[in-house]
Amino acid sequence: MTTPPVRPKRATVHDVAQEAGVSRGTVSRYVNGDRYVSATAREAIEAAIAKVGYVPNTAARNLVMQRSQAVGFIVHEPHSLFIEDPNIGEILLGANAALSEADHQMAVLIADTGRDTDRVARYLSGGFVDGVIIVSARANDPITRVVERLQLPAAYVGHPPGASSASFVVIDNLGSARAITARLVETGRRRIGMIAAALDRDSGSDRLAGFREALGERFDDRLVEPVPLYSYSAGRDGMQALLARSPDIDGVFAASDAVAAGAVEALRAAGRRVPEDVGVVGFDDSAWARRTLPALSTVRQPAARLGAEAARLVLDRIGGAPGGAEVMLECETVWRESA
Amino acid sequence: MTTPPVRPKRATVHDVAQEAGVSRGTVSRYVNGDRYVSATAREAIEAAIAKVGYVPNTAARNLVMQRSQAVGFIVHEPHSLFIEDPNIGEILLGANAALSEADHQMAVLIADTGRDTDRVARYLSGGFVDGVIIVSARANDPITRVVERLQLPAAYVGHPPGASSASFVVIDNLGSARAITARLVETGRRRIGMIAAALDRDSGSDRLAGFREALGERFDDRLVEPVPLYSYSAGRDGMQALLARSPDIDGVFAASDAVAAGAVEALRAAGRRVPEDVGVVGFDDSAWARRTLPALSTVRQPAARLGAEAARLVLDRIGGAPGGAEVMLECETVWRESA
C-alpha cells in the first residue's frame, strides 16, 4: 500500500516499519486487517504506530479498493418511534452482530427530517458505505429512490414498492394478523375493531388485510380506526375514537404492542376492564407486551433474526449476488392475559 | 474538483456538465452542497446525474479536503441497555438534530463486543469521521485510548477518567442524587437503601456519593446493593437482595428509572406496597417513570440537551477549539406517586 503524501509531515508505513523493525509488507498486512501477522510483530507495530503517530489512510485505500467495509443502517423513523419501538433496537443489534461476524462496520444513519434525508442520500452516494440496510421505508421514499439510482447493494426489512433491485426480508404480516384475529374471534367476541397504524407501509396495510380476511362477512369498516404511527399515543387516541363511535366494542386488534398499550390505557380511563369487558391483542411481542397490565396477547416478531437476515442479504449483494431475493420469516401467536 | 479516473468508464463531472448544459463549476458547486445553484440548474444537473449515472466521489474529495463532514456517535452498551435505556435514544436524537443543523452526517457505531470495539477503533482511524461523540464510556475504555492516541476531536457525555484532550458534557449526578435522597428522608423513611448500578462509570459512582452525602451519619453500607447495569432486571435482582438482607427497609433510591421499575416489581412480588410500605425513587425521568405503576418520583435528566451540547462541543473541536471544555447541565427533582 502506498499512501499519497497529503500533508508533508504525515507518518508513513515506511516510518512504522523502520520503528518496528519489520518489513513494510508486514505493516501493510497489519493495517489491512490480515490475520497472518505474528503476535510479536503485531505488538511491535502497535507500539511503533503509537510512537510515530501513523494514521492508516483508509480513504486512500478505499479509493483504490472501492470498498469501505462499512454498511449503512437507515433508521427511517420520526423521533418518538425510535424510542418507543423496541423492535428497531433488536433488528439493529441483530444486523450489527451479523455484520461484525463478517468484519464489516455498521453505521446507523438517522433520517428524522427532510434535511436528514437529503444529507443521508448524499452520504450514500459518497462511497462511505458498500451497501445499506433499510427498515421501515415508506412508499416513494426519497432514500429508496437514491439507492435505486445508485444501484447501491441494499436489503430492506419490509418490502416497500419501488425498490426493485434490492433484496428483502419480511415477516408474514397478513397471515399473522389473520391468525391472531381468528383467535380473538374464538374467545367469543362479537364486535371486534382494529386500530390500524401506518397504512402507508406494507406492514400496516398487510395487517389490516389479515384482520379483514379473518372476519370475513363480519368485517365492519366503521370498527377500523386508522392512526398514523405505531405508537402508544396513537393507540390511546385510536381507542378513544373507537369507543366514541362504537360503545359496544368488545374486542380490539391493535397493530402493534405500543398501540395496544395505549389502547389499554384509554380503556382503563373509560372504565372498561381488560380482558373482562374488552379483549385486546397486539403485534410484535416487544418489551411493551410483558410490561403492560394485563400482559398482552400478541404476535411474536423475530426481530433479531430480521436484522441478521438483512445483513446476510446485503453482504450477498455486495459480493455480487443478484438482487430480488425475498426471505419471509414466520411469526407465532403468544397468548397472555389481555384477551 | 477533479475526480481521479478510478474505473475507465466512470462518469465524470464533465459528462454531467455536458448533459445538463451547464458549466463544470456549477456541477461542482452542486455536488459540494453549495446553496448558490439556481433551481433550474439544479433540476438539469439532477436529471443529468441520473442519466449518465454519475456518483460524486466523496472519498476522493475527502482525501484532498481531509474532511468527511461526518461525526461518529458511539453507543457503548451491551445489548439489553441499548433497548432498555430510553435516554440513549433521546441523547442520540438531540445530537443528530444539532449535527444536521450544521450539515454534518451522524453515523452511530455500536460497540457491543470486543470485536466490535477493535473494528470501531479501526474505523475511527480511517478518516470516515471528523470527530466523535461518546456516551457511557467506562474507565480504561479501549475506544477512549484510540481517540486519545489519534487526537480525534471528541465530546463525551459523561467524564470517564483518561480522556484528557476531549470536551465533556455532564449532568450533576452527585448533587441530583443528594437532592432526591434528602427529599426521600423528608417523607419520614428511616431505613433507606440504594440499588447502586454501574459503579465503574462516573454517573454510577457519583450517584452513590450523593446518596451517601445526603444520609450522613445514617448511611449504612449494608443497605447498598451494587448491580452491574442500569437495567430492569438488575433492579429486580438488587431489590430482592436488599429485602433478603434488610426486611425492615422502607425507602429505596434506585440509580435509574429502569432499575426502579424492576425494584417496584420485586416489591410487588414480595407483597410490599409502594409507596405505603416502601418509598421508591429513580433517576432519569425516562418513559419508564411515567409507565411504572405507581408513577416514579425521579430526577429529570435533560437527555436531548445533553446530545445537542455534545454535538456543539465536537463541532467546536473540529473547528479548532481547544479540548478540555466541560459543560454541566442541571437536573430537577420530579415528585410523583412512588414516594
pLDDT in tens, A196-225: 999 988 889 999 999 999 999 999 999 999
pLDDT in tens, B299-319: 999 999 999 999 999 999 999
- The phi, psi pair for B256, rounded to 5°, reads -155, 170
Q: What domains, with CATH codes, occur in chain A?
A: 13-65 (1.10.260.40), 70-171+303-330 (3.40.50.2300), 173-300 (3.40.50.2300)
Q: Residue B66: its chain A contacts at CB < 8 A? A: 6-7
Nearest CA distance, B47 vs chain A (angstrom): 11
Residue B50 three-state SS: helix
Query: Is B108 close to A107, i.e. CB distance below 8 A?
Result: yes
Is residue B81 very low, low, confident or very high in pLDDT (cuts 50, 70, 90)? low
State how far the Cα of A6 lies from the Cα of B99, in Å rounded to an integer.
Answer: 27
Q: What is the pLDDT of residue A80?
A: 53
Tell me how far apart the alpha carbons of residues A231 and A267 are, in angstroms, rounded to a whole number. Answer: 16
Interface confidence, given as ipTM, is 0.71
Strand duo B332-334 + B298-300: pairing: antiparallel
User: What's the DSSP call for residue B295?
Assistant: P
**Closest Cα in chain A, distance from residue B273 (Å):** 17
Cα(B40)–Cα(B17) distance, integer angstroms: 14
The closest of A336, A214, A323 to A280, measured between CA atoms, is: A336
How far is CA A163 from each of CA A143, B50, B68, rounded to the nearest angstrom? 10, 16, 28
Backbone angles phi, psi at A5, to 5 degrees: -75, 85
For chains A and B, CB pairs below 8 A equal 145
In this complex, do B93 and A79 lie within 8 Å of one another by their Cβ atoms?
yes
- Write b or e for each residue in B273-310: b if 16 or more Cβ atoms lie within 10 A of its Cβ, otherwise e: ebbeebbbbbbbbbbbbebbeeebbbbbbbbbbbbbbb
Q: Do A105 and B119 touch (CB under 8 A)?
A: yes
CB burial of residue B9 (10 Å; 0-12, 13-18, 19+): exposed
A78-98: pLDDT as tens digits: 555 555 566 788 898 899 999
* B162-210 tens-digit pLDDT: 777 899 999 999 999 999 999 999 999 999 999 999 998 888 999 999 9
Question: Which residue, among B108, B143, B268, B290, would best test binding to A if mutated, counting the most A CBs under 10 Å from its CB?
Answer: B108
- Split at pLDDT 50, 70, 90, the class of A312 is very high
Partner-chain contact A107 B112, CB within 8 Å: no
Is residue B151 within 8 Å of B166, Cβ to Cβ?
A: no
Chain B residues within 8 A of A105 when measuring between CB atoms: 109, 119-120, 122-123
Nearest CA in chain A to B119: A105
What is the Cα–Cα distance from A50 to B146, expressed in whole angstroms?
10
Chain B CB contacts of A82 below 8 Å: 89, 92-93
Interface contact A125-B56, CB threshold 8 A: yes
Cross-chain Cβ contact A150/B55 below 8 Å:
yes
Handedness of CA A68, B70, B284, A268 (dihedral sign): negative
